[in-house]
Chains A and B, each alone.
Chain A
C-alpha cells in the first residue's frame, strides 16, 4: 500500500515537473499559490502594482497543465477576505494565445488587500489557486 502511494506520488511529481519545464513562467508574471500540491501551475500578468481602485482592468492567465481547460474550465473570482465581499462584476475570460487566457472586466471598488482565486476545472476535478494583491 505504501509502495503504491509512493509510486503514485512520484508519478504526479514527474508529471508536474514535466509541465513546469514545458511551460516556463515569463518575467513579469506572478505564480499563484496553492494550499495543497497541485499538478498544474498558473501565473498571472497583472497591471502595475498597486491596482487602481475604481478602474476596470484585465488580467492575463498562463495555465501550465497537462490538458488545457478551455475558457469553460477556468473560474476566476476576487474577494476582500477582511471585508467579506467580492467583486460586483464577473470577468469575461477568453483565450488570447497558447496556454494564455485574458480575464477582462476585473474591477476592484475598494482599497486594501484583494484575493484572486482561480479554479481550474477538468475531468470532474478541480484545482484552486490564489494570489493576494493590493488595490489603492
Chain B
C-alpha cells in the first residue's frame, strides 16, 4: 500500500514538471505571437550617421561625453546637458516641464535609443541628432550660451586639444561651424545610449526560437497586458516595431494650450522651424554628400492636421521616465493608461485621425497593461 502511495506521488510530481515543448502559461494566440515578434529583435542593427563624420568615432564619443557633463556650454556656467538629461533619471529630469534658464513648455525627453530615431524633439524640428544636440546650447530658455562665446568655451580648456585633433583649432572656424562641431560630438556620445534587453525581449526571443518553456516564464499579467496593447488598445498602431514608436506625430488627446492665450503648435511649429534651419540633412553642414535621409525633409507633407500633434515616444525604459506626454501632464504610467481608457474624444482634432477610442478598461485590465509596460524596462537577466 505504502509503495503504491509513493508511486502515485512520483507520477503526480512528474506530471507537474513542464515537458520540453509544453507551454504551461503561454496564453497568447498565434496572431498575438506574430504581433509580439514585430517588436524585435533588440537591439536593431545600427549604423553610423553618414551626416555626422564623428559618429562611431571613439575619440569623438569620449569628448562628446565630457561636453555633455560640462557646464562650460552654458552662459552662466551652471547648466550642462546632464542638468536636464540626468543619467540616474532615465536621462530626463523627473519634472513635468524642462527647467533650463527658464521653464520650458515641454517635458524633457529621454535620450535613450536616439540613434534609431527619424525625427528629433517633440515636434520633430530636427531631422538629425547633431542638430537636435546643438539647439539647447543656444536657446535662451535652456543653456543660453551666445554662439560667439562657444569658441572661448572650447579654447584654453581641457577640451582644446582633443577638439583640435578632431576639427582643427576652434579659433580657425566660424562660430556656426564650432556649434555644429559640438553638436556632432554630443550626438556621437548620445548615440551610444542604447537600452539593453528587457523581460519582454527575452519573451519575444524565446517565442521566435520556439522555446515555449522559456516563453511561458514571462508573467501572465504582462501577456494579458500585451494582448490589450496589440489588440483592443491599438497601442501598436503608433507604438510600432522594436523601438515601440513609429517615430511620427499624432494627436493623443492631450491639450495643446500652454496658457489660456498661448498654444503649443506641436509638429506644425516643428516643421516651420525645420524649414528655416540650416542644420538639416539637406543643408550645408551635413557630412553626407549623398544627402541620404534628406528625402524625408524634402518630401514632407505639410497639413493643418499637423497642428497640436507630437512625436510618438519610444516605450523602452518608459517606467523610468515619468512624468509623461509632451507637457508632462500625466505623472505615472497608471495615469497614462487611465488617460487612454477614458479619453475625451472632444479633445481630438475634429478632422483628424480616427484611431483613438476610450478603451473602458477594468481595473484588472489597467493593471495588466501597466505590468506589460513595466516589462519594457531593461534588466540584467
Residue ranges of A at the interface with B (Cβ–Cβ < 8 Å): 53-54, 56, 82-92, 104-105, 107, 109-112, 136
Contact = CB atoms under 8 A, between A and B. Distances in A.
B238 A90 contact: no
Given A54-B241, A56-B295, A89-B300, A109 B354 contact: no
A136 B184 CA distance: 34
B295 A105 contact: yes
A111 B237 contact: yes
B241 A89 contact: no
Interface in B238-264: 238, 240-241, 246-249
Nearest to A135: B240
A104 B247 CA distance: 19
A111 B296 contact: no
A77 to B, nearest CB: 9
A87 B240 contact: no
A30 B185 CA distance: 48
Contact of B296 (A53, A86, A89, A112): A89
Contact of A105 (B237, B238, B247, B299): B299
A85 B301 CA distance: 12
Nearest to B240: A53
B236 interface: yes
A106 B222 CA distance: 35
B354 A83 contact: yes
Contacts of A54: 240-241, 246-247
Instruction: Report the 9 A-B pairs with minimum CB-CB distance, sorted nearest first.
Output: A84-B354, A109-B248, A89-B299, A105-B299, A85-B353, A109-B246, A90-B299, A105-B295, A83-B355
A136 B237 CA distance: 10
Nearest to B306: A88
Given A82-B354, A83-B353, A104-B295, A88 B301 contact: yes
A112 B237 contact: yes
B246 A110 contact: yes
A71 to B, nearest CB: 14
A84 B353 contact: yes
Given A82-B354, A84-B352, A136-B38, A110 B301 contact: no
A111 B236 contact: yes
Interface in B160-191: none
B332 interface: no
A92 to B, nearest CB: 6
B62 interface: no
A89 B246 contact: no
A91 to B, nearest CB: 7
A85 B303 CA distance: 11
A92 B295 contact: yes
